Amino acid sequence: MWFWQEVQAVPWQVERINYAMNHFDVAAGILCDPNGRVLIAERLGDGPFHGLWEFPGGKIVAGETAPQALSRELAEELGIEVTMCSSFMNLRHEYDDRVVTIEFFIVSEWNSEPIGREGQELRWVPAELLDADELLPADVPIVEALRRRH
């Protein structure tokens, strides 16, 4: 019986290791224009979320703060320079293959016109018309929070 208990412990430890390897910290920007619209970007790639929409941003790399990551990611993805942002909401979302912790920022001022520098489509949507079914699952709680804010 003791041998069986040892064998059973191995999968649990492997699962814990995989969990740790698939955890990502992310910074995402909610660009808000003076008309109450927010910017969403099409999700590219061939993964399970291809064709959904998201608030632009990306992974925080070692040695970076969340605001630094946000500025870098939005420059890379949208070609803009963030000049004013504020923390809006933090959340944790578990996907089947990874866990993401996301810090969302309201971006109220930036330089340049946002463009899809990676080939992604962009849409300006009134906050009250955001469709949660079109967004990444991790972004869905933001829809209700934005509606309450406006």
- What is the per-residue pLDDT across 36-84, written as a single tens digit (0 to 9) for each? 999 999 998 777 788 899 999 999 999 999 999 999 999 999 999 999 9
Q: Please state, in angstroms and rounded to a whole number, the distance separating the CA atoms of residues 86 and 24.
A: 21
Conformation bin of residue 83: beta by default, left when phi > 0, alpha when psi is -120 to 50: alpha
* pTM over 0.85, yes/no: no
Pick the more confident residue, 9 or 109: 109
The one-character DSSP state at 32 is B
* CATH class belonging to 22-149: alpha beta
- Helix, strand or coil for residue 86? strand
Please tell me the predicted confidence (pLDDT) of residue 21.
54
Report pLDDT digits (tens) over 1-50: 444 444 444 444 444 444 455 999 999 999 999 999 999 999 987 777 88
pLDDT at residue 150, rounded to an integer: 66
